[in-house]
Amino acid sequence: MARRWKNTLSENDVTPEKVFLNRRQLMAGGAAALGLGSIGGALEAAEGLEPSSYEDITQYNNYYEFGTGKGDPVKNAHMLTTTPWSVKIDGLVDKPGDYAFEDIMKAMTIEERIYRFRCVEAWSMVIPWNGFELADLLAMAGVQSDAKYVAFETALRPDEMPGVRYPVLDWPYVEGLRLDEAMHPLTMMATGIYGKDIPNQNGAPLRLVVPWKYGFKSIKSVVRITLTDKEPPTSWNQANAREYGFYSNVNPEVDHPRWSQASERVVGGGLFSKRVPTLMLNGYADEVGDLYAGMDLSKFF
Amino acid sequence: MSVVDRINGVARKVPTWPLYILGLLPVPWLLYLAQTGALGREPIKELEHELGLIALRLLIAGLTITSLRRYLGLNLIKFRRMIGVLAFTYVALHLLVWVVLDMSLLWGQMWADIWKRPYITVGMAGFLMLLPLAATSNNLSLRKMGAVAWRKLHKLTYIAVLAGGVHFLWLVKGFQMEPILYMGAILFLLALRLPARKVAQRA
């Protein structure tokens, strides 16, 4: 197994600081890694009765299959059936096949990861995910030596997804990573938030999380993972190649053609919250910077 | 008496000044909603978006007045100035929210955005065009300038509305219906004026 990743964000970085966590959820989440000493502080902060971060995370979403409004996914995503669920893993793997969600969960070790999440639209959150490293899932299927890329696909269910009636994108939603990005210990498949099962609007029952890339790379409700030797097509790149590159690494120095990426708005701060500067690779430059050594990031954006 | 005549009759009697107050009611209402969380998890963006949408709708409403009279005989001309002034007010509030709340007074980044981001450039151009129109939306200016010059200046509305439509169309991600519908309405209303202008030139 790859080198493990160590959390550098503390609970105080969770969006926003007034966390509402209760002790039972935390225990149920098996989030021992959190450090129990900080729970008291989080509870005290909760006395402020500000909007809870769980609500920010689960009610402000981009999931265009359920509508393009930020509040559409929470309204519509309940229609999505997530049981039974299986993920087809195919392409350049030793054991291709349909992997049932329960079987995946049995084989994986669930841990909590508190990651920054930066949307290409220049807003951000900090999210306590539960899940496992993608590398562990790929190891389950056995990656062959000639594989260079990983392609992902979201479920496409016209009966359950009112948004796919409109050609906002060329459905189904597809994404991709270079194999070394996919195998990086920061890259995970999330199955929970705050120790609860991940809500549908956040990509149930399992989604990719790549914290140093813009949010749209972290594809939701994954039904297929394909190992390949060619760079796979990705939805936003196909929709507008000038604006969305294959890499889409968070980079304050490379602007979106239509807006600046230098700063971001932290969701949940209310009417008078200030913009904050965006960090190179979303603050994970030390961990993943060497993946892009020697690459011109304004060219490979 | 036809429906049109009846509406014209009522319109003659309605004073315009209370409509200014009525037209501004959405502002405290939106601020109230933002405070209670009813505008969603990111109230700044929503407030900015709503103010912009109201401005665009008012600009479009202003465009319909002339066509309503020409094609339906409906005379609402006396409300046109109010609609225009309100539209300008909402554009200004939209801009204010962007500058103060959204961009946190980051002048450097805003300045760069105005030049580098086409949708912001276009939006800002639309706002600048509305400035002389708002400043001359009073009887004194009309008298001083003379009706011909005043009307000529106020043709800028057409370009400003187009700028508003393009601004909206340009800022969304992917293929989305709403801004296309607004742009369609604007182009339709502007197209209605084309033959009228030709007739006027011939006369």
Report pLDDT digits (tens) over A185-238: 999 999 999 999 999 999 999 999 999 999 999 999 999 999 999 999 999 999
What is the C-alpha separation between B91 and B122, in angstroms, rounded? 13
Backbone angles phi, psi at B8, to 5 degrees: -60, -40
Asked if B41 lies within 8 A of A274 by C-beta distance, the reply is no
- State the smallest CA–CA distance between residue B105 and chain A in angstroms: 9
pLDDT at site A34: 41
C-alpha atoms less than 13 angstroms from C-alpha of A202 in its C-beta half-sphere: 24
Percent of chain A clearing pLDDT 70 (strictly above): 84
Comparing CA positions, the residue from A149, A120, A124 lying closest to residue A251 is A120
- Which residues, other chains included, contact A207 with Cβ-Cβ below 8 Å and sequence gap of 6+? A189, A190, A198, A218, A219, A220, A221, A222
Q: Are A15 and A53 in contact (CB under 8 A)?
A: yes
A274-301 pLDDT per residue, tens: 899 999 999 999 999 999 999 999 889 9
Is pLDDT at A19 greater than 70 in this prediction?
no
A74-87 pLDDT per residue, tens: 999 999 999 999 99
pLDDT at site B202: 57
What is the C-alpha separation between A105 and A122, in angstroms, rounded? 33
pLDDT at site A117: 94
Asked if A275 lies within 8 A of B45 by C-beta distance, the reply is no
pLDDT at site A273: 86
Of the pLDDT bands very low, low, confident and very high (cuts 50, 70, 90), residue A152 is very high
- Which residues, other chains included, contact A75 with Cβ-Cβ below 8 Å and sequence gap of 6+? A66, A67
Contact residues, chain B, for A252 at CB < 8 Å:
none
DSSP three-state, residue B76: coil
Q: Are B84 and B63 in contact (CB under 8 A)?
A: no
Q: Are A191 and A198 in contact (CB under 8 A)?
A: yes
Comparing CA positions, the residue from B180, B138, B190, B182 lying closest to residue B159 is B190
DSSP three-state, residue A50: coil
Q: Do the strands A263-266 and A123-133 form a parallel or antiparallel pair, or are they unpaired?
A: parallel
- Which residues, other chains included, contact B16 with Cβ-Cβ below 8 Å and sequence gap of 6+? B78, B79, B81, B82
- State the smallest CA–CA distance between residue B75 and chain A in angstroms: 38
- State the smallest CA–CA distance between residue B175 and chain A in angstroms: 4
pLDDT at site A52: 45
Contact residues, chain B, for A167 at CB < 8 Å:
175
DSSP three-state, residue A118: strand
Within a domain: A133:
yes
What is the C-alpha separation between A218 and A250, in angstroms, rounded? 12
Torsion of CA A236, A241, A243, A245, to 10 degrees: 70
Within a domain: A301:
no
Q: Which H/E stretch holds residue B133?
A: helix B118-135
ipTM of the complex: 0.73
pLDDT at site B118: 87
The list of chain B residues with pLDDT below 70 reads 1, 195-203
Within a domain: A300:
no
Amino acid at A259: W
Contact residues, chain B, for A68 at CB < 8 Å:
172-174, 176
Mutate to test the interface with B, among A254, A260, A272, A278 (most CBs of B within 10 A): A260
Asked if B171 lies within 8 A of A260 by C-beta distance, the reply is no
The whole-number average pLDDT for the span A67-94 is: 96
Q: How far is CA A298 from the centre of its chain?
A: 23
Asked if A60 lies within 8 A of B118 by C-beta distance, the reply is no
pLDDT at site B117: 85
Mutate to test the interface with B, among A63, A119, A168 (most CBs of B within 10 A): A168
pLDDT at site B195: 67
Of the pLDDT bands very low, low, confident and very high (cuts 50, 70, 90), residue A169 is very high
Host domain of residue A141: 11-288
Mutate to test the interface with A, among B30, B33, B36, B42 (most CBs of A within 10 A): B42
Asked if A68 lies within 8 A of B112 by C-beta distance, the reply is no
Place of tokens 């954006």: A301
Tell me how many domains chain A contains. Answer: 1
The whole-number average pLDDT for the span A47-74 is: 81
What is the C-alpha separation between A228 and A248, in angstroms, rounded? 20
Output the domain CATH number for residue A175.
3.90.420.10
pLDDT at site A32: 38
Of B174 and A65, more confident: A65
Q: Are B168 and B186 in contact (CB under 8 A)?
A: no
Name the residue among A51, A60, A166 with its Cβ closest to that of B177: A166
pLDDT at site B46: 92
| Residue of chain B with shortest Cα separation from A216 | B173
Helical axes B26-36 vs B17-24, angle rounded to 10°: 10
Share the mean pLDDT of chain A.
Answer: 87
What is the C-alpha separation between A293 and B91, in angstroms, rounded? 46
Backbone angles phi, psi at A243, to 5 degrees: -100, -30
| DSSP bridge pairs for A196 | A193
Q: Which two tokens stand for residue A92?
A: 């350049």
Contact residues, chain A, for B44 at CB < 8 Å:
265, 271, 273
Distances (CA, A) of A31 to A153, A277, B55: 29, 30, 48
Domain boundaries, chain B: 3-193
Strand blocks (E) in A34-156:
86-91, 97-100, 111-118, 123-133, 149-154
Within a domain: A295:
no
- Which residues, other chains included, contact A186 with Cβ-Cβ below 8 Å and sequence gap of 6+? A5, A115, A210, A211, A212, A284, A287, A288
Is pLDDT at A31 greater than 60 in this prediction?
no
Name the residue among A64, A70, A240 with its Cβ closest to that of B40: A70
